[in-house]
Chains A and B, each alone.
Chain A
Amino acid sequence: MTATEEHAAPIGFGRMERKEDVRFIRGHGTYVDDVRLPGMLYGAVLRSPYAHARIASIDTGAAEAHPKVRAVITGATLDTLNLAWMPTLSYDTQAVLATDKVRFQGQEVAFVVAEDRYSARDALELIDVTYEPLPAVIDARHALDPGAPVIRDDKEGKTDNHIFDWESGDAAKTDEIFANAEVTVAEDVLYPRVHPAPLETCGAVADFDKITGKLTVWETTQAPHAHRTLIAMVAGLPEQKIRVISPDIGGGFGGKVGIYPGYVCAIVGSIVTGKPVKWVEDRSENLMSTAFARDYHMRGEVAATRDGKILAIRVNVLADHGAFNATAQPTNYPAGFFSVFTGSYDLTAAHCKVTGVYTNKAPGGVAYACSFRITEAAYLVERMVDVLAHELRADPAELRMRNLLRPEQFPYASKTGWEYDSGDYPRTLRLAMDIAGYEELRKEQEAERARGHLMGIGVSFFTEAVGAGPRKHMDILGLGMADGAELRIHPTGKGVLRISVQSQGQGHETTFAQIVAEELGIPPADIEVVHGDTDQTPFGLGTYGSRSTPVSGAATAVVARKVRERARIVAAAMLEVDAADLDWEKGRWFVRGDPDQGKTMTEIALAAHSTVELPDGVEGQLDATCVYNPPNLTYPYGAYICVVDVDPGTGKVSVRRFVAVDDCGVRINPMIVDGQIHGGLADGVGMALMEVISFDPDGNCLGGSFMDYLLPTALECPSWELGATVTPSPHHPIGAKGVGESATVGSPAAVVNAVIDALAPYGVRHADMPLTPAQVWRAIQGRPFRTDLAIS
């Protein structure tokens, strides 16, 4: 029996093996580093060893004399092309290659193009840069101190490291509730700097044809269309002459949204040498220079009644954005969607204030499946609810159940301006508790504690806001966040769907074919999904923020429905009846009241291309296009329960069980949905227990390889226990909400809450992630440390 025979593919939604697997399991995927063009050269980037230093001189003579080197590019070279600096996605600027100063360790200083990978690396060693080291700003909490070194003195008139202040909610009302509350709790909560670390690092192959003026760039990008437009703007090349191809992508997690200097250098390298240039960063370059995530220093406060009704939440955030403000989020949301920090609860008031600062660290901030900072928000509120439970000596699950939004409150207008579309939160939490056997676990915990064992049970409940977004409110660099879809139905009834989003493993070639199948009754195997090539697909902003299904999936359903309506007219002409007299069943139009009289999509497709006479004004053929502008975000949610055991002798945490019940609305392919959740849960275990990019006082990155930046393996992950509830989104064409980031958003709090719960006998109320053995040990001693800085 083959794998395929075991599971028949549905014509529509349901479990179905992935179409893309056919190439991946044979080693026949095509990732950027697999692209090989005739005459191709290789690029390598020279990076700064200092976190902050003035560049006194750069001598490239010896590198240029290397027999296999074809070009050496510095900031000075780029300056002559007006390319030394480029715009970021947050209306800031970022150095492509440093000219005046270096501002973080690992910053790009020079680019060598050589005949092979190894020679390019050799030549980096021949470049002589004289640096004058400067004092560095490493601790974000001192970035705004008077007299702190000014990092961005390239910006005229800049005299401090302040980027922005942003707030949301009702400050006066929130303060009033806090002033009169029976109970208030406060806690400083750090969400440390982490990195998405996709297994494939970033890279590009640029091929500029001097004769035609056409630039083709293979890039590790989650947003090929946005990149094409940005390349046109940055490089001054005509956009119709730029083709961005995003081939198979080896994981993205938000780390492949922005434009990195290496991409620009590869393009310049190709223009300068007249040959295709490949640049692929190594793992250290990836971890030290591309988009990090989080680095939010948060103070959370909760006001409640003594019997556990949460009234208000107040949050102050110091956001470390690194040396350049390069976060990727909608323009009007400098702190992303952090204001979803009110979580899943029925509050009276809420307020948050976020201050962004520059530090001498790599730029970024929005990545690693964060749903535009909802990861930070969800972690904070779920940590704070447990802090309140600790204060009230309440059961954390019961406290949540008491405060969750009730089904009849939807659509719910949150106190920070979001309209939650649908949900039945108590049902989802109850299901998670039932799967976990929550009450029995508590009894077991009591018995374990009596024996001196540290067993912990952690609960989290999260609400996400995904599918950005309504173009009236949401854009990136002025580009509205709508997505296009094109559907062609060939004469034989087979189709080609062209979409603007770009899979990094999410299985779009399968699920999007299933959406068409559901709408038209054409088997998914007969629908080819084309993506990742700007010359072949309609414009759209790409895949991040769990937006593919909410936005592009909606576009696909709508375009398929357009095709269906066109098919109706053709079917009416074939049957010689009025189109209004036809009814639809999956794959077929038939005469109302006479079901035997009908035409299948295959018959209709052929007729649409044939000589069948159509009514005046009907063009023939079935092809259609659509641009989907979402009316609102979608709000997936979930309830997670984690069980851990902590070794009191070493501080080592073992995750014994993890129960996750997700409600992401309608599930197109439950197998793929579960897979997305599995991956996010592993992220949560990683972030909670081991992942951190920390720095020493000089700004040396201490997470620059997989020897230091630890990721969970199969041994740290338990066998995930999943459950599902389905509450469709009322405004999405197929009721789907998106799920890609849900588990990454919701799971860290469950793990941390479980560990802190295990440490309850020691009176521990909070300790910051990652809860490494050292950190747990210190927490047991009553002295948890700051995980973002080297231990001094």
Chain B
Amino acid sequence: MQITVTVNGTEYTRDVEPRLLLIHFLRDELGLTGSHWGCDTSNCGACVVWLDRTPVKSCTALAAMASGREVATVEGLEKDGQLDPVQQGFVACHGLQCGFCTPGMMMTARWLLDHNPDPSEQEVREAISGQICRCTGYENIVRAVRWASEHGAAEHREPAQHVEAEVTA
């Protein structure tokens, strides 16, 4: 089937199998390998991307479900050579080690800060509680999100060039 998906502001049209998972569409069809696959069961969150501005686990969404919609991935976080404060926070606070969970964590963190610019530690923990990190014990991820909150989350612009559109899936 033919689908058209906007990813990080760029429109892609591809012929895909109806069963193709969104994560494999992004990684194998578009070569956007920043989002990772980790578990198949929606537990780990290494595959978190935004679908119409909402974090989803792309291992449990079909590429077809994204047709006509907007996807934002880690590759879209940096704008005009300027790192997102979340990306800066992860570096400043050592919020990553192996880096495998990092893209998904950052996408959730960006979403959290867009909706709650000054989250408490507990609110950060709840926001990332659907995702697993095996390296950091979460401590520095929480600090990284707090760092981003304190360093300009307010000036942040949307990762995807957002077009107002209701979900039509």
Contact = CB atoms under 8 A, between A and B. Distances in A.
Nearest to B74: A27
Given A198-B98, A199-B44, A675 B74 contact: no
A1 B147 CA distance: 12
Interface stretch (A17-25, A54-62, A135-143, A323-331): A17-25
A713 B129 contact: yes
Interface in B113-169: 121, 124-126, 128-142, 151
B6 interface: no
B129 A26 contact: no
A751 to B, nearest CB: 13
Given A26-B75, A198-B134, A714-B141, A706 B39 contact: yes
Contacts of A672: 94
B111 to A, nearest CB: 15
A182 interface: no
A678 B135 CA distance: 8
Contacts of A613: none
A27 B137 contact: no
B32 to A, nearest CB: 7
Contacts of B139: 678, 717, 719-720
Nearest to B141: A714
Contact of B98 (A197, A249, A282): A249
Contact of B78 (A2, A24, A26, A683): A26
B134 A27 contact: no
A154 interface: no
B134 A717 contact: no
13 contacts: A21-B96, A26-B74, A26-B78, A27-B73, A27-B75, A33-B36, A33-B37, A118-B20, A284-B40, A679-B97, A707-B43, A715-B126, A720-B139
A524 interface: no
Contacts of B91: 3-4, 17-18, 21-22, 25
A199 B37 CA distance: 9
Residue of B99, B124, B131 with most partner-chain A CB within 10 A:
B99
A3 B129 contact: no
A6 B89 CA distance: 11
Interface string A616-635: 00000000000000000000
B87 interface: yes
Contact of B88 (A3, A36, A249): A3
A443 interface: no
A680 B137 contact: yes
A3 B89 contact: yes
Given A25-B83, A25-B96, A26-B78, A118 B19 contact: yes
A733 interface: no
Contacts of B15: none
Given A25-B87, A117-B28, 6 more contacts: A27-B33, A33-B33, A248-B99, A250-B100, A282-B40, A719-B121
B103 interface: yes
Contact of B92 (A6, A201, A675, A719): A6
B34 A27 contact: yes
A675 B133 contact: no
A711 interface: yes
Contacts of B34: 26-29
A734 interface: no
B10 interface: no
Nearest to B151: A1
Contacts of B27: 33-34
A711 B134 contact: yes
A682 interface: yes
